Chain A
């Protein structure tokens, strides 16, 4: 990991998000889905930024309009620490990848949605499904912006699009189908739904292997390198640190 000043190459609207493109070739190969950088955006605690897209020149992040990164302008310099943490690890043998997220957290999973024809996405018959939730249709991530090959299942709380009610209603059938599941919180503020999701996985799959279901947990972080011990996440036998052991954890290990 490194602490570096990087240039903001571009800032553009990508409704419902703001897309911020960083010129950071040194992060291109290592900032994979679920890994992050800590950005100095003016607050005392640095802000974690996750890549929604990366290439040889740098990476894009998608943030809500009220996020501090949305105030950046093209040409700004931002001090970043990273890449940090352990990202999603899709087995090389995976053929049916299920992504689960609320619209607010979807950007973290977007690099996996675009994996087709790369890495594990080269597997014959490889397919990716997305279970996407939002309170209303108006707050859904625009489906037209997602990769065309992605199979999208939608649930809205008010029933204005897709399945009316909880995304968890659709979850069991998709768990039966998948051989790897990557989850960002269904609710944007905390992973409160993880126990319910874990319960479904245990019920539907017999003896799911380690890493079958992986979940993102992002508590406030002070240092990002494990020095302060401040981002503990409760797991089956004690705690782990989100910044170094996570922020992606085995779902069934989380308490």
Chain B
């Protein structure tokens, strides 16, 4: 798609207005991290040229085998997924995919699993010089490192440490993906620690009984029922910070995406909806009203 044609379809969306390079998108719609693989999996089914960007990953500093099966449990109206961040590690990912990303018609944003400051720093260092990577999306730990006895203060401290570590080691625009249940509490500190934009929010966690394996599985939840939860949190965050917000959670059609834009999001990410109906992503991208007009 030529720039002229794209710009006629939608005004440019800017996700990092205060960054020296910025992160300009031709469209507010993109896939969510963890749902689009590393950028090649949906090559034959999703018209990437219609999108604002692709979000690939998550990646970690070292290879991770991921969680033992079962990883996928159907739940009423959706699905619970526990992958354990399976990925070949940031170095291998860059080696295998950077050339392909360089040919992408839209910006590539790499999602870094910020499970600790060291993890975030190691990933960002490796990605920092990669021209094909237009931005970093940083996932945060959604439980504090002290686990059972931890407080909200611990969670805040951990999140800030991870963001600061990433910020110190990346030259690219930094989008911080906030956990759903602590997004309002973390958003201001995230911006202060260096976030150029915020994704609201990471899929919430739940637990399901997997009968045929005879055990509980705890993982992230996907489905339309997430939308009202995420929309509520996004409106709260929009009242607290003045950086671009990326709405994410339960988006399955253009009405869902438009609701996030109306609530204050600059852009939107489609997560589980992509698995259910891969065509919905391009359909949403083609149908979204220009962000300026929707607010």
Which residues of A does B touch, CB under 8 Å? 1-3, 40, 43-46, 79, 81, 189-190, 219-234, 238-239
Contacts and interface: CB of A to CB of B under 8 A. Distances in A.
Interface stretch (B73-81, B124-132, B139-147, B167-175): B73-81
Q: At the interface, is chain B mostly helix, strand, loop or mixed? A: loop
Interface stretch (B30-38, B101-109, B254-262): B30-38
Contact of A229 (B71, B272, B278): B71
Contacts of B68: 232, 234, 239
Interface stretch (B40-48, B155-163, B227-235): B40-48
B69 A45 contact: no
A3 B272 contact: no
A234 B71 CA distance: 11
A190 B277 contact: no
Q: At the interface, is chain A mostly helix, strand, loop or mixed? A: loop
Interface residues of B, number: 34
B278 A228 contact: no
B41 A227 contact: yes
A44 B77 contact: yes
Interface in B62-100: 65-74, 77-79, 81, 83, 86
Given A44-B78, A234-B69, A1 B212 contact: no
B271 to A, nearest CB: 10
Contacts of B69: 219, 232-234, 239
Nearest to A223: B275
Contact of A228 (B45, B70, B73, B83): B83
B36 A230 contact: no
Contacts of B223: 44
Given A227-B42, A232-B71, 4 more contacts: A189-B212, A223-B41, A223-B275, A227-B37
Contacts of B41: 223, 225-227
> In this complex, which of A2, A44, A45, A220 has the most chain B Cβ atoms within 10 angstroms of its Cβ?
A44
